[in-house]
A and B are shown apart, each in its own frame.
Chain A
Amino acid sequence: MDESSSPITRRTLIAGAAVAGAGVLLSNLPSEAQQKAVQQPAAAPPPPPPVAPEDPTKVPGAPTTAVGERSPFVHPQRAPVGEITGTSFTPHQDLTGTITPADLHFTRIHAGTPTIDPAKHTLLIHGLVDRPIEFSVADLKRFPSVTRTHFVECSGNGRSAYRTPKPEMTPQQVDGMMSNSEWTGVTLDTLLHEAGVKSDAKWFLAEGGDACLLARSVPIAKAHDDALVVWGQNGEPLRPEQGFPIRLLLPGYEGNMNVKWLRRIKLGTEPFMTRWETSKYTDPLPDGKARIFSFEMDAKSLITSPAYPEKLTGPGWWPIRGLAWSGRGRITRVDISTDGGKTWSAAEVLTSLTPKAVARFERMWRWDGNETLLMSRAVDDTGYIQPTMAQLKPVRGPGTDYHFNSIRAWRIARDGTVTFEATT
């Protein structure tokens, strides 16, 4: 959702409000009327749940099936915005644990999702190498593989919450452009050994096989560190919108660099200065400059419950739950404040502290019925502490475009309603 300043809620879609960011795929000269006709349709309300038997232990259940489905009582959905230059947001409020189901992993596409026959797809490695090589997907799968858990986060994640916050924002709208998966593939280092990288190669260009041939320059050190070429996600082949048959995975680096439908890697001496890394994914600063090649996603956390539109039914014990992640390494601590940031105490981190992967945290909280603000802040193994908005905004500016990782809050009202606050 780079071109659009605020995500659109399902509610506003249903209400038939204008849809921002809707792309059109027409051969020539689309009229305004034609554009309206192909805009993103309103999300259909979920079907009513089936009538469950009075006593499910007294009637036989449903037969076995080839492909399972979610319970008809739950309907987690991405929130899509736009079409072939679109985005869809992960519904954090509906998920548990740390792994995002592949069909709910956020998407950001710049020229639609291509349909690629894996038998015809190849990965070319050339440029400053001893042996330019072309791999089939089957070739890649013969290399020693690794399976690792990493998040991918669009560097525009959290933009609306930072620039145009509204009380009625869900965790999905606040930070839905971050998802976490178990990825399977081959290290890029292994593939580069195969081609033999020349000593003057300092950067590589990664290029996708979609209709915009999306391309980003990456320092060679990342290839030798932890970059992967992956074909598997959460136990199955990549989904088409996640890069089927293969994508680049650069753990901790901004999402756009994790090039999907990867078709080419070219080694060179300098960055290639593609549109995405120059006029697009760069970060204006208040001193009249703009940061270029800002790769790492800094430490961040988000409370996913209680969160809008939940309502606490009354005082008593409630779990505060959420997610924390850092593109620089492991999360070492997550602090919680239940008094608007005056005091902090450590939450329990429920999951293993994997580098550049999501950790889930939780802390039980006894709500006394008074109005308050709940906040979380992540700390990573560089010692970095997730900053407050008051720290971040002066150094980045209110209109900056990417890398939004300030502490956010949920306001609990006396009647138990929960609303979003960007905080100051």
Chain B
Amino acid sequence: MKLSSSSERRDLLSRVVRPSSLAVVVACLALNACKVDARNDYLGDKSPKQFGLGRAAPAADIAAQNIDVSPNGEGLPAGSGTPEQGATVYAGACASCHGANGEGKPPAYPQLVGGPRGNFNFASDFKIPKTIGNYWPYATTLYDYIRRAMPLTAPGTLTPDQTYAVTAYLLNREGIVPAGTALDAKSLAAIKMPARDHFVSDDRRGSTGGKNVR
């Protein structure tokens, strides 16, 4: 436990030094021999590595919640879907909010496809729509997000095949996968998105070791 101020340290002590600990301190004082007082029992070497709380996570609970998908494809389930199959899924589950052609109903429902490509000049004008093809750096994020959160009023109801299909449909609309592509775990993770190389790490550091304003 990291304590960031002496007052927090005092707070901890006042909580930790309860009657039993107090008895130890008193006994130590009486013996005038203890070099280690009660606070070290708590804050130092003798604090437990583990408190033994909680339970071993049941495998079924992990399996039910372990839904994240990484850019390397880890977490993608078996299954596949084509843009053509996805068009049907989209019309039934997505078009009511995001529009028949992915044009969205901003600001509540973002435009999904059809944003301008090429110059990535979003910082010059916030009205330039950020869409899958011009702003999303990883294709796997589409699967992850659709599985987590979509459709808005019935999240988690699409099957893996439907999720692959609607992902393929949106990527096809952005010209990223050709018609007829059966997208699956391997092919989805292999896609390099057009915006990928535009993302850079944060170089702000306060004023420490650099310019004040970045």
Q: Which residues of A contact B (CB under 8 A)?
A: 3-5, 20-30, 82, 84-85, 110-111, 122, 124-126, 131-136, 139-140, 142-144, 146-148, 163, 187, 189-190, 193-194, 196, 205, 207, 211-215, 224-226, 263-264, 266, 268, 270, 272-275, 278-279, 282, 284-286, 288-296, 298-299, 326, 328-329, 355, 380, 382-385, 387, 391-392, 395-401
Interface residues of B in 147-168 (CB under 8 A from A): 148-149, 152-155
**What's the minimum C-beta distance from A21 to chain B, rounded to whole angstroms?**
5
List, in ascending order, chain B residues with CB within 8 A of A266's CB: 66, 68
B200 near A292 (CB under 8 angstroms)?
yes
Q: Measured between alpha carbons, how far is A384 from B210 in the docked complex, in Å?
A: 10
List, in ascending order, chain B residues with CB within 8 A of A187's CB: 1-2
A213 in contact with B148 given A5-B107, A27-B153, A295-B202 (CB within 8 Å): yes
A212 near B149 (CB under 8 angstroms)?
yes
Other-chain contact of A134, B57, B72, B213 (Cβ < 8 Å): B57
Q: Can you name 7 extra interface pairs (CB under 8 A) apart from A273-B140, A400-B126?
A: A24-B108, A213-B149, A288-B121, A290-B200, A298-B204, A398-B125, A401-B126
B57 near A30 (CB under 8 angstroms)?
no
Other-chain contact of A275, B2, B53, B145 (Cβ < 8 Å): B145
A396 in contact with B110 given A132-B57, A215-B148, A278-B136 (CB within 8 Å): no
What is the interface of chain A mostly: helix, strand, loop, or mixed? Answer: loop
B182-214 near A? 1/0 per residue, CB < 8 Å: 000000000000000011111111111000111
Query: What are the 9 closest A-B residue pairs judged by CB atoms, nearest first?
Result: A397-B123, A382-B206, A3-B107, A212-B149, A284-B122, A399-B126, A132-B57, A275-B145, A383-B207
Q: Measured between alpha carbons, how far is A137 from B54 in the docked complex, in Å?
A: 9
Residue picked from A4, A263, A290, A295, most chain B C-beta under 10 Å: A290
What are 12 A-B interface contacts by the 8 Å CB criterion?
A5-B107, A23-B108, A144-B12, A146-B12, A212-B148, A224-B2, A279-B135, A279-B141, A289-B198, A290-B198, A296-B206, A383-B206
Q: Measured between alpha carbons, how far is A273 from B141 in the docked complex, in Å?
A: 6
A84 near B212 (CB under 8 angstroms)?
no
Q: Measured between alpha carbons, how far is A270 from B1 in the docked complex, in Å?
A: 25
A355 in contact with B4 given A273-B140, A292-B200, A387-B213 (CB within 8 Å): yes
Other-chain contact of A193, B11, B49, B135, B137 (Cβ < 8 Å): B49
B54 near A135 (CB under 8 angstroms)?
yes
B68 near A384 (CB under 8 angstroms)?
no
List, in ascending order, chain A residues with CB within 8 A of B145's CB: 274-275
List, in ascending order, chain A residues with CB within 8 A of B108's CB: 3, 21-24, 82, 85
List, in ascending order, chain A residues with CB within 8 A of B33's CB: none
A21 near B136 (CB under 8 angstroms)?
no
B34 at the interface (CB under 8 A from A): no
List, in ascending order, chain B residues with CB within 8 A of A214's CB: 148-149
B67 near A284 (CB under 8 angstroms)?
no
A288 near B198 (CB under 8 angstroms)?
yes
A215 in contact with B96 given A132-B62, A285-B123, A291-B202 (CB within 8 Å): no
B107 near A215 (CB under 8 angstroms)?
no
Q: Measured between alpha carbons, how far is A362 from B97 in the docked complex, in Å?
A: 48
B71 at the interface (CB under 8 A from A): yes
Chain A residue at minimal CB-CB distance from B126: A399
Q: Measured between alpha carbons, how far is A45 from B205 in the docked complex, in Å?
A: 45
B55 at the interface (CB under 8 A from A): yes
Q: Measured between alpha carbons, how far is A268 from B5 in the docked complex, in Å?
A: 31
Interface residues of B in 15-64 (CB under 8 A from A): 15, 49-51, 53-58, 61-62
